[in-house]
Chains A and B, each alone.
Chain A
Amino acid sequence: MALSNDSIPDWDALTALLGPIHEDVQLFARRIARSNAEGDDVFQEAVLRAAHKLGSLRDRSRFKAWVYSVVVSVHRTRCRRAFWRRLVSSEEADRPDAVGDDGSRWADERASASRASAALATLRAPQREAVVLFELHGYSIEEIAEIQDTSVSSVKSRLTRGRERLKRFYAELALEPEPITEVCRG
């Protein structure tokens, strides 16, 4: 299949290449963003950019790393410009839960995920991406270096510092008193 060299989006070519990894890339966008909705925005913007720039990709075998790097690029651009959007977003934090019969388990899982999201939000974008790619997507340090277009030593440093910040976040959480949810009646 020939890759188009035009800047006009080649949707058919992109769809064929993106199909097998579409879910993984979308998940990555959601996990480095602050909500599923924001992640979908990042993913959408990345797919659009990828469609326009597909002609610049000479080696089709690098498509996977390349499209992840586009997501990284879009994410970092949004981080740089969207400081206030961190504070006042027009998006909902999450889609409604499928509560089912075990409502408490879903509530616990949601709280756990929110905590992870808040913890990751304390990391700089490159650290957050590296941690998500390593911990949740199982990429090797060498693969992450290719995606982030950096050296192996940089990725190792990002993972180390990312973990240090996560450790600090959870240590501070452990020091904060639990909110009072019950009133003891004497």
Chain B
Amino acid sequence: MLISKNWLQKYIPDFTVGSPNTLRHRVDTRLSEVGQITPKGEGLSQLVVGRVVSAEKHPDSDHLHVCQVDLGEAHGTSQIVCGAPNVRPDLVSVVCMPGGNVYHPETGEVVEITARQVRGEESAGMICSTAELGMNDIHQTIIELPTDSIIGEDVSEKFADVIIEIENKAFPHRPDVFSHMGMAREFGAIFKLDFHRPETRLKFNSRAESILPLEVELRDRDNCKRFSAITISNAKIQPSPLWLQIALSYAGVRPINNVVFFF
């Protein structure tokens, strides 16, 4: 299991990783073997939310596009050449500004992005893939953010975290620990920290007057004692917000969209 320090801190705000050996020893002897403890997001800088205004075919290449990217009031609009198949007008993504750092998609080393020419066209920065942001191995496509993201926001700090790998062979009978909330409760007990359960009650602004358009038929009352159903209308399917995409990726899960992953 890949456990995120940031995610744990939602429930145990006083938790810190501290000395890895101490953490390892405490958890080893009380729960299970601790594997790698990996700092994330180190070295990333100058990462800004940008919106692709236009994406014209590059005159000298069949897979490259010359894009005009709106980087907000502070940075204005920049021309960036992008080779990803999913680049298109109105796409919101993460841009690394010239002088900023990302991870090399294959070696993982920190590399600096500079303004340069790409086949005769100016490119002032780079639109990033999730591999270049240290989220996972995918680097053929660029990251997609929801359209209501704040354009121009510097998001470099959002990638900082520490991931603690915990071997789960030792507790198959502890389903209570198979989640960050459950692990936070366990860590709270191990490290004697206050556990805060966040408010999870949904607040409804209005109720539908008419009957649900969804029909559910219960065919086997013996094996299904209870069900609940809800319809949500006027939902717009979008990528999940950046902080959630990062949290899911660090936990080893591939983000899909805002309907699949609720938080």
* Mutual binders A and B: no
